[in-house]
Amino acid sequence: MKFGNKSLKALNTCHFELQLIAHQTIKKNLLDFTIIQGYRNQKAQDEAYNNGYSKLKWPKSKHNQMPSFAFDFIPYPFIDWADEDGFKAIAELLKETAIELRNMDMISHDIKWGGDWITFIDWPHIQLENI
């Protein structure tokens, strides 16, 4: 499996460690997914906030840095936003890959999945921690 042009465009706005995690994960050929967003400018962040997709105003989101410290993904093929199992399976694979890369000293940050949050569940969200 490999990413399509839209995924690559979004992923290329992200921190190199997130890019490496995503590329290594997709190369495993276990589950397919699409990167739908990396960097968010102020207009995109304001829209996400106003529509309830983000709890953070500009420039507080990890999406608002360049390069972005976060990306959003969806399972492929996409079923719907309530596909908790699909999001969880991809997130677990991304977290597993991040641990492997960290153990090989290829990355220096942990990642966190928005599906693990307690107060605001954000199924498609992956972000770098300790940055």
**Beta-bridge partners for 75:** 33
The pLDDT assigned to 71 comes to 98
Read off the pLDDT of residues 103-114 as tens digits, 9 standing for 90 and up. Answer: 999 999 999 999
Return d(Cα 95, Cα 125) in angstroms, integer: 12
List the domain range (segments joined by +) for residue 21. Answer: 5-128
% the chain with pLDDT above 70: 100
At residue 51 the predicted structure's pLDDT band, cuts being 50, 70 and 90, is very high
Return d(Cα 58, Cα 34) in angstroms, integer: 25
The predicted model gives 20-26 an average pLDDT of: 98
Q: What is the DSSP string of 1-18?
A: ----HHHHHHHTTB-HHH
Read off the pLDDT of residues 76-105 as tens digits, 9 standing for 90 and up. Answer: 999 999 999 999 999 999 999 999 999 999
The pLDDT assigned to 131 comes to 82
3-state secondary structure 51-120: CCCCCCCCCCCHHHCCCECEEEEEECCCCCCCCHHHHHHHHHHHHHHHHHHHHCCCCCCCEEEHHHCCCC
State whether residue 122 is helix, strand or coil: coil
Q: How many domains does the chain have?
A: 1
Considering just the CA atoms, what is the radius of gyration of the chain in Å?
A: 14
Q: Do residues 32 and 76 touch, judged by C-beta distance below 8 A?
A: yes
Average pLDDT taken over every residue of the chain: 97
Burial of 8 (0-12, 13-18, 19+ CB in 10 A): middle
- Whichever domain contains 107, its CATH number is 3.30.1380.10
What does pTM read for this prediction? 0.96
